[in-house]
Amino acid sequence: MSANTLWTACLDRLQGKVSEQQLNTWLRPLHAEESEGTLRLLAPNQFVFEHVRDHLLNAIEGTVNELQPAEGGCQVRLGIGGAEWPQEAVASRRERPAAAEPRRATPRPQGPVSNLNPAFTFDTFVEGKSNQLARAASLQVAENPGVAYNPLFIYGGVGLGKTHLMHAIGHSILARHPEGRIIYLHSERFVADMIKALQHNAIDEFKQHYRSADALLIDDIQFFAGKERSQEEFFHTFNALLEGQQQIILTSDRYPKEVEGLEERLKSRFGWGLTIAIEPPELETRVAILQRKAEQAGIELPSEVAFFMGKRIRSNIRELEGSLRRVIANAHFTGKPITLDFAKDALRDLLAVQNKLITLENIQKTVADYYRVKVADLLSTRRSRSIARPRQIAMALAKELTQHSLPEIGQAFGGRDHTTVLHACRKIAELREADASLDEDYSNLLRTLSS
């Protein structure tokens, strides 16, 4: 990339003319290639291409010609495409010719390189009651691909390890048959590829590509719902693979028959092999997963912390891992050891508490409900204790929970002066020290508002 001296110089010069956001949104995504007399700029997609062409191309050309005022100047050509990047999980991205008008690539022939995630193997899969059946079935398929169970349909909620098992089967097949062609993709990729193939009269290559797989792994099949043309195409691919005893593995967030918007004939075929559920992991498995992940990251995770996290984050494994990453990041950047308090502190940002947007109206309503008074009373000029105290509490909460200024808060409470708000805040702070029941009320309200 560093060879792009002209483009780099051009961007440097444009920094003074367009905003940083424009640079980051429209210009820095462009991939540049220079050859004599031509600067080819490749946009990642049509949308960026059009914006640059319509709004920025003149500025780019002007700048380039300022930099290279040689005879004939330098021609700027805009296209769509991108670079090869080394991490070839992206075996899919062949460079596209830049043209004055964007062209789309046809589905690319894929070499023996697979795009399986190297981390997703059977060895790294943590087994528990919730997933042991799915794991056992996956092992069988891995040993006898195309024969044991075809298709293998794994279903379960988000983030429970369906993709992990699918990739593990792929790795295992490759280990036995290194020349095998394993294609893994999300269903929406299949849809997008098919649309592109249709646009470019390349549907035969498309068919050939998918039908030549020794194993075809499609994730989240529920996103085929309502896409009839893709279902039709997939139906034929499916049949061809099955006939050729090529393995098909599918995942979905629900039982095949329950996927709405999916053709009946597909649903019934999905059931021809083995359909197996993967359940949310129970606490022990969640804890085991955390400990295994921590070990892999080379981190000491005390078991009380693992249990705390396992108890708090029940939804799925992806979020469990995300929260572990947050704890690890905190440890890494602060250099502190991971203790229970440390983990609680790190996870506060993830757990939804305090994440809602809190408005002044919301505070007034919540406080009014709590004390069984009317919002109108809080805003009125009435000064009886039963109204004034809740009003002061509401003001103090507003100061604590919002970014409004004192005059703004005063304004929102029936046009009071900012000194009144200031007085309320001080008064409540004092009372919370002296009066346990008021302190409890305040804490309750704080909790209600921020959860």
Partner 1 sequence: MSAAHQRQLPLDLRLRDTSRFAGFYPGGNRLARDAVAALAVGSARTEPQILLHGPAGVGKTHLLQAACHQGHERGEPVAYLPLAELAAAPPLAVLDGLERARLVALDDLDAVIGKGDWDEALFGLLNRLRDAGCRVLLAAVAAPDGLASPLPDLTSRLAWGPVFRMQAPEEDDLKRILAQRAALRGLELPESVADYLLRHYRRDLVALLQLLDRLDLAALAEQRRLTIPFVRDQLARP
Q: Which is nearer to partner 1, 244 or 261 (CB)?
A: 261
Q: Which helix (H) or strand (E) is 228 found in, with range?
A: helix 228-243
Closest distance to partner 1 from the beta carbon of 327 (Å)? 8
Q: Which is nearer to partner 1, 102 or 128 (CB)?
A: 102
Structure tokens at 3: 């060879």
Closest distance to partner 1 from the beta carbon of 437 (Å)? 30
**Pairing mode, strands 75-80 and 152-155:** unpaired
Closest distance to partner 1 from the beta carbon of 337 (Å)? 16
Q: Which is nearer to partner 1, 147 or 158 (CB)?
A: 158
Sheet holding 215-219, edge to edge: 182-186, 215-219, 247-252, 152-155, 274-277
Closest distance to partner 1 from the beta carbon of 28 (Å)? 5
Question: Cβ contacts of residue 401 below 8 Å, gap of 6+?
Answer: 358, 363, 446, 449, 450
Q: Which helix (H) or strand (E) is 218 found in, with range?
A: strand 215-219
Integer angstrom CA distances of residue 37 from 33, 77, 82, 149, 317:
11, 11, 20, 58, 53
Q: Which is nearer to partner 1, 42 or 394 (CB)?
A: 42
Closest distance to partner 1 from the beta carbon of 440 (Å)? 26
Closest distance to partner 1 from the beta carbon of 423 (Å)? 14
Coil vs helix vs strand at 339: coil
Q: What share of the chain is helix, strand, coil (3-state, %, to 5)?
A: 55, 10, 35
Instruction: Match 């095949």 to its residue by tokens.
Output: 256
Q: Which is nearer to partner 1, 4 or 380 (CB)?
A: 4
Q: Which is nearer to partner 1, 357 or 436 (CB)?
A: 357
Closest distance to partner 1 from the beta carbon of 25 (Å)? 5
Closest distance to partner 1 from the beta carbon of 319 (Å)? 5
Q: Which is nearer to partner 1, 268 or 315 (CB)?
A: 315
Q: Which is nearer to partner 1, 291 or 323 (CB)?
A: 323
Asked if 33 and 42 count as a contact pair (C-beta separation under 8 A), the reply is yes
How far from each other are the two terminal CA atoms of the chain, in whole angstroms? 48
Question: Cβ contacts of residue 254 below 8 Å, gap of 6+?
Answer: 155, 222
Burial 381-404 (b: 16+ CB within 10 A, else e): eeeeeebebbbbbbbbbbbbbbeb
